[in-house]
Structure 1
Amino acid sequence: MSIDYKVTVNDTFHFDLDSERVAQVDAVSIEKNNFHILHENVAFKAEILSADFHQKKYTVKVNSNTYNVAISSPLDSLIKEMGFETGLSKQVNFIKAPMPGLILEINVVVGQTVKENDNLIILGAMKMENSFLSPREGVIKSISVQTGDAVDKGQLLIEFE
């Protein structure tokens, strides 16, 4: 069974390719991101200059010309039609308590720049310590609790700028 791909080049040219046609292209890797391609007895030198795998967007240099290429599968098209986007993540701007508990430790201050996975706060609940790690890089805008506070489920703990 063949899979169809929609390919857009430089936001101008649109192509429908199936996996069988793609398989007919003879490409040999010369070194990392460099390829020798033979298609219909014509040779091409190709280099991948940049790749965003989540967005499925690539910048490719073929011979001396540079192209921006976007590739989408039938699943990508269906997800887009449903109003969702693949590869995009929601920007998390706050952290709320997932359960009632007691604030045991706060490891950040307002105005502090944090990196993804930095330990922000520890919540004691059900005889366990739950560490909340930063979901993204950012600056702490506000801290709505203090060490020793009892919190309810859904209560705002930390807000990012």
Structure 2
Amino acid sequence: MSTYYKLSVNNTINFDLNESDLKNLDAVSVENNKFHVLKDNKPFKAEIIAADFIAKKYTVKVNNNTYEVAIADALDLLIKEMGIERGRTKVVNAIKAPMPGLILEISVEVGQTVKENDPLLILEAMKMENSFLSPRDGVIKSIAVQKGNAVDKGQLLIEFE
């Protein structure tokens, strides 16, 4: 199985490279993060200015022009195709009751904008008050309970837009 890469330059130009393309690359390191590159008998000075190895994004300077380059391999492309983004967390769109209990307080209203960790509501369960904080920034789409309601495990409490 050959190695395959998809490069995106400044989010506008895309290149597909494979293992043989990389083997045929005529580049020589002249200093740390600086290279001399020959392409079609034309010389280029290249320098890696910044590198984010986890996101696979690089800032590269070629002949005094700066470019943002994103590199994806076959696994990255498959993960993206499956609708999963590497390094991203799942977006929570609903808060459900983790256990049966009684709603003591609701601190938000429908349409209200909340920030991550803002208080949403208090659920009393097993003689303990459980404070629910917003898992993300967002807008409250609906509130499915009212103060004083008894709720079951898994019941929808709050929904985000």
TM-score by length of 2: 0.65
Which amino acid counterpart does residue 38 of structure 1 have in structure 2? F
How far is the alpha carbon of 1:100 from its aligned partner? 1.2
Which amino acid counterpart does residue 15 of structure 1 have in structure 2? L
How far is the alpha carbon of 1:46 from its aligned partner? 3.8
Q: Per the alignment, do residues 99 and 60 of structure 1 end up closer, same or farther by CA in structure 2, a change over 3 Å counting?
A: farther
Runs (4+) off by over 6 Å: none
Indicate the structure (1 or 2) with the bigger Cα radius of gyration. 2
Structure 1 Cα separation of the partners of residues 62 and 4 of structure 2: 20
Q: What is the SS of the residue equivalent to 2:116?
A: coil
Match of 1:33 in 2: none
How far is the alpha carbon of 1:120 from its aligned partner? 1.0
Structure 2 Cα separation of the partners of residues 27 and 5 of structure 1: 27
Match of 1:14 in 2: 16
Q: Per the alignment, do residues 66 and 148 of structure 1 end up closer, same or farther by CA in structure 2, a change over 3 Å counting?
A: same
Q: What is the SS of the residue equivalent to 1:111?
A: coil
Q: Per the alignment, do residues 27 and 156 of structure 1 end up closer, same or farther by CA in structure 2, a change over 3 Å counting?
A: farther
Percent sequence identity is 59
The number of equivalent residue pairs is 146
Match of 1:85 in 2: 84
Structure 2 Cα separation of the partners of residues 123 and 75 of structure 1: 42
Structure 2 Cα separation of the partners of residues 119 and 5 of structure 1: 47
Structure 2 Cα separation of the partners of residues 131 and 110 of structure 1: 19
Match of 1:31 in 2: none
Q: Does 1:113 align with 2:96?
A: no
How far is the alpha carbon of 1:150 from its aligned partner? 0.8
Q: What is the SS of the residue equivalent to 2:79?
A: helix
Which amino acid counterpart does residue 99 of structure 2 have in structure 1? M
Which amino acid counterpart does residue 14 of structure 1 have in structure 2? D
Spell out, residue by residue over 1:119-143, the C-alpha distance to the aligned partner (whole angstroms, 9 max, x if none).
2112222333322221221122222
Match of 2:34 in 1: 37
Supply the RMSD in Å over aligned alpha carbons.
3.6
Structure 1 Cα separation of the partners of residues 47 and 53 of structure 2: 21
Q: Per the alignment, do residues 61 and 102 of structure 1 end up closer, same or farther by CA in structure 2, a change over 3 Å counting?
A: farther
Give the alignment partner of residue 47 of structure 1, picking from 43, 46, 49: 49
Contact 2:5 2:72 in 1 (8 A): yes
Structure 2 Cα separation of the partners of residues 25 and 105 of structure 1: 64
Match of 2:72 in 1: 72
Q: Which runs of 5+ in 1 are unaligned?
A: 29-35
